[in-house]
Structure 1
């Protein structure tokens, strides 16, 4: 078998000494050569290397390495790539020839974007060979830095979700090898990688972004100094004009997702952005930090605790827009993981803002606490929900009405889930009484309170019997003020009152005189 292969390689090499003049004949000859070379093992016998020599010399001629026909170029690239594989780790050509070879090989990668093209499979073979045998390292020895940049850019440009895992993995392997083998990562190459980060960039696809993040994760130690320098320079305003094309907040977000340890030296500068007098920068920093800590499954490490604490302090920011932005993000933090270790710290900071001087902020605090409670009733301690209930006495009617609606929603959810063991019996039975007390608030119309008690307090699917059962339970806990409020409502609705409820305060019992209580 080996002798036959040697003979074929000699014949192909002999014919290539004077290349065929027609394209079809040349393509046929190169295909035969590529097939033979693919069957030769790495580091073959001296006899095999000797039989390859005529072909190796012929294929490296400028008229073939720089051929203009795309089909010929691809086949020549295939052959020389196989030759570098076979002879590795020894270089089969002079430096000048190797430079031409790698220029040719890199030029074939732009075609990887056409996954359905007839030449796609051959291009993938070249890619996988370069990755598997690490022959790309020779590019560093040859100081082909611009070519390395071009190859990185090409990979990011063609990366697609249509690519199979082995294609993307091979691209990643080549980039990781070149970065790890570099003495120092050049700034221009680093910017090629960083420019492909960002959740909201329209000019990159998610496959390229993921590829860049994987490369950073695998080369975190090598890239850390350069990334830190880039981020600090950008945050201090000392970056070059070209750096401004990269949104550094987006870079920080993606790096936190893949290699957060890189950011340890950047934390003080990001904390500074939370404290800056520049409102736009402060808002961007709040959004970034809030997004980081709201990532599902994200645990805030000890190193990031200082910036998290400063983030929560922005709930007292002098600008209401900043406070509202923090509220939006802490809600995401709690919704993504209600039992996170920082939950009590967040909830405490939230409740401190229930007395904010801006009614929109107070309303939003109520919204955040109630949204989280409605996702999981046991995620917000009852004492904190009771603090929210105090907003029923807010000076703003907007806040009062909204608080009443949200408390009714919590009680409705409690009625639906109270029997599943997730909450303690009677844990939220105080809510109807709090709503009844609003009868004495001059800002509320009695029909507003009735509409909540009749239409929002219980699940629509509840039976009459279930509703009555809950009313009996809550009535037994009413104080004199709440009972009096209920009596007043009943007096106003004595004629045609939908529930037909009659309350006697002497023995504090409730009876139902009409059968139809479906409205409650």
Structure 2
């Protein structure tokens, strides 16, 4: 076995240790030893650095710090935390140019922040409009130019437009709904393909349980998407499952009966 190098002050972990001692060592708050270093990396002296490569590497370090410390970040000053998220959002703009020699690092940064939706931490800040604007500028081209959207991406997007998150997190709802409104025809096509697979039972549990709510919110946000989903709704209305047929009949009834319903106008 290769030699394991432990950080300074961190005791070694051996399977032969008594359980009590092993638990004590595993609970050792070793991350506390690096808080001052983490704070230094997130300070203005690095966030305001002029060199592109330095800024990218600082961003990667910050993403690692956020992943390791989340949700108890070492940055206690809301203004500093806001500046860090703006800095990260600006660095992600490097994804727009795949010819960059450092593109793989930009992609690493994106993947690191995407885990468990780390950017949602910024939504707890009192004023996150600037961050939301930066994220919108970044995410819209990625959605519109992508040739594939995973169900995980749609899970994240759709979860923001239905209850309880629709009411509990207005900023996230506004971002998600704006992305849906501004998505181009390619985005519509990807959503149609994925929701078709969802309707036919090829979905994860979250989508399966919330599909009616998701379709209704898509209808409310962007009517054109509903037109693409009507064949799937028709399929559900012919389901052998009585409960499912009732659920989708109620959904269509709700959409038809609403004041100024576009669906009702289209059918006349």
TM over 0.5: yes
Query: What's 2:215 paired with?
Result: 252
Query: What's 1:82 paired with?
Result: 48
How far apart are the structure 1 equivalents of 2:194 and 2:146? 18
Query: What's 1:147 paired with?
Result: 112
Deviation at 1:233, TM superposition (A): 1.6
Structure 2 unaligned regions, length at least 5 = 1-30
Q: Give the secondary-structure state (helix, strand or coil) at the position aligned to 1:214.
A: helix
How far apart are the structure 2 equivalents of 1:82 and 1:183? 35
Counterpart mapping for 1:230-249 below 5 A: 230-241=194-205, 243-244=207-208, 247-249=210-212
Deviation at 1:110, TM superposition (A): 5.6
Query: What's 1:261 paired with?
Result: 224
Contact 1:136/1:178 (<8 A) preserved: no
Output one character per residue of 1:479-505: Cα deviation in whole Å (capped at 9) or x when no partner.
Answer: xxxxxxxxxxxxxxxxxxxxxxxxxxx
Output one character per residue of 1:258-288: Cα deviation in whole Å (capped at 9) or x when no partner.
Answer: 2232333211111232344432112211222
TM value normalised by structure 2: 0.63
Q: Structure 1 residues 165 and 92 mapped into 2: Cα distance closer, same or farther (>3 Å)?
A: closer
Output one character per residue of 1:154-208: Cα deviation in whole Å (capped at 9) or x when no partner.
Answer: 3346535944533433443443354346554344333222233313569964443
Query: What's 2:85 paired with?
Result: 127
Output one character per residue of 1:341-390: Cα deviation in whole Å (capped at 9) or x when no partner.
Answer: x6xxxxxxxxxxxxxxxxxxxxxxxxxxxxxxxxxxxxxxxxxxxxxxxx
How far apart are the structure 2 equivalents of 1:166 and 1:234? 34
Q: Structure 1 residues 73 and 178 mapped into 2: Cα distance closer, same or farther (>3 Å)?
A: farther
Counterpart mapping for 1:270-289 below 5 A: 270-289=233-252
Query: What's 1:73 paired with?
Result: 38
Query: What's 1:196 paired with?
Result: 160
How far apart are the structure 2 equivalents of 1:132 and 1:286? 46
Q: Structure 1 residues 209 and 276 mapped into 2: Cα distance closer, same or farther (>3 Å)?
A: same
Query: What's 1:101 paired with?
Result: 61
Number of aligned residues: 230
Structure 1 unaligned regions, length at least 5 = 1-65, 307-341, 343-520
Contact 2:160/2:172 (<8 A) preserved: yes
Contact 2:59/2:91 (<8 A) preserved: no
Q: Structure 1 residues 297 and 92 mapped into 2: Cα distance closer, same or farther (>3 Å)?
A: farther
Q: Give the secondary-structure state (helix, strand or coil) at the position aligned to 2:48.
A: helix
How far apart are the structure 2 equivalents of 1:204 and 1:290? 27
How far apart are the structure 2 equivalents of 1:182 and 1:73? 34
How far apart are the structure 1 equivalents of 2:113 and 2:34? 24
Contact 2:216/2:255 (<8 A) preserved: yes
How far apart are the structure 1 equivalents of 2:186 and 2:216? 19
Q: Give the secondary-structure state (helix, strand or coil) at the position aligned to 2:153.
A: helix
Is 1:175 the equivalent of 2:175?
A: no
Is 1:299 the equivalent of 2:262?
A: yes
Q: Structure 1 residues 133 and 146 mapped into 2: Cα distance closer, same or farther (>3 Å)?
A: closer
TM value normalised by structure 1: 0.36
Q: Give the secondary-structure state (helix, strand or coil) at the position aligned to 2:263.
A: coil
How far apart are the structure 1 equivalents of 2:224 and 2:255? 14
Output one character per residue of 1:50-101: Cα deviation in whole Å (capped at 9) or x when no partner.
Answer: xxxxxxxxxxxxxxxx995445414413444433xx345xx4489xx57843
Contact 2:160/2:176 (<8 A) preserved: yes
Higher Cα radius of gyration: 1
How far apart are the structure 1 equivalents of 2:42 and 2:186? 31
